[in-house]
Amino acid sequence: ALHPDSFFLNEHFLSRPKDFPQLLNDTFLRAARGEDTEHVPVWCMRQAGRYLPEFRKTREGRDFFDTCRSPEACCELTLQPLRRFPFDAAIIFSDILVIPQALGMNVQMVAGKGPTFPEPLKEPEDLQQLQAKVDVSKELDYVFKAITLTRHKIEGKVPLIGFSGAPWTLMSYMIEGGGSNTHSKAKRWLYRHPEASHMLLKMLTDVIVQYLLGQVAAGAQALQVFESHAGILGPVEFKEFSLPYLRDIARRVKDKLKEAGEDIPMIVFAKDAHYALEDLSQSHYEVVGLDWTIDPQSARERTGGKVSLQGNMDPCALYAPKERISQIVKKMLEGFGKKGYIANLGHGLYPDMDPENVGAFVDAVHQHSKQMGAQI
């Protein structure tokens, strides 16, 4: 029997849009594959965000998830940072919690509190309330439409990145009912209900695979998987409840893309999982994203040139004066080296950051990396 991924893939890739404008700047894609580049490419997590006045204006008075469901709004928000800064990639504006929504859970964005699940999962029997078979092309078509529209409107300026949350991170939101410092409710499941935990993680993995394939069919040119809550797990739990699923996602997505004659670089970002750096560098992802708590040079040594690296400036360095930002960037670039490297922050931009300083960060990456190239 054909694998369920295949049906999805064939149906989507046959009907996929083909008339996208030609890509003019592939620096990001080349760096992701470890090829030579004239400068180090740079983009920022949450580059479409509240630090931009135009973002706040577009979002004004609209429900957060209503915005996520409007392809036009997502496209506009994705393009805004590109009008200001010479980023080398764009990431589609969306949210990782659209997957729990597709599974039938109610998620609301509460002002001052963040994402909230009025009815989180409490016990294993609650898994029965989740939609067993998710038709991703129906439930998440608004994301695919946003990607296709943005691919046209971006006019080939830079590649467009699609993304998803990773299974453990989504599971922890679904059980905690929102953000948490300890994640103790979700971790309670891992220790008390390991079988049910694996059942939920597998369910999420299946949806994520279809979701990422759908994003590529819609026009995404790279994919990032966000394991934002990796650091709350210890090495043993990470190896049992996160890593196998991260690997499974990359392997299944790659296998299906290969069948369709596609080759899309994938990035894994497991925040605060330094203990797993070696494992992550052998997990079928071309790029490993790093947070600011890892020293660039030691990350290079530990990954042994197997992958490209992305990161990892402390976002709070953007509060520094511009000259200082430039120095911090220079040191970071020297640590990572120019090849197989994508400059980024170690996490997303914060709402109170000055756009001018974001511009200074981008310019510093381009300037210093071009000078590095000249010295070799």
Tell me the HSE value of 129 on the side-chain side, using a 13 A CA sphere.
14
Can you give the pTM of this predicted structure?
0.96
Per-residue pLDDT of the chain (376 residues), as tens digits, is 445 566 566 666 666 767 999 999 999 999 999 999 999 999 999 999 999 999 999 999 999 999 999 999 999 999 999 999 999 999 999 999 999 999 999 999 998 899 999 999 999 999 999 998 999 999 999 999 999 999 999 999 999 999 999 999 999 999 999 999 999 999 999 999 999 999 999 999 999 999 999 999 999 999 999 999 999 999 999 999 999 999 999 999 999 999 999 999 999 999 999 999 999 999 999 999 999 999 999 999 999 999 999 999 999 999 999 999 999 999 999 999 999 999 999 999 999 999 999 999 999 999 999 999 765 4
Per-residue pLDDT at 132: 87
Provide the Cα torsion 58, 322, 34, 92; round to 10°: -10
Q: Which spans in 88-193 are helix H?
A: 98-102, 136-139, 141-153, 167-176, 184-192
pLDDT for res 376: 46
User: Domains plus CATH for the chain?
Assistant: 26-371 (3.20.20.210)
Enzyme catalytic residues: 46, 50, 59, 95, 173
CA of residue 45 relative to chain centroid, distance: 8
Please say whether the beta carbons of 164 and 225 come within 8 A. Answer: yes
Cβ distance 309 to 299 under 8 Å?
yes
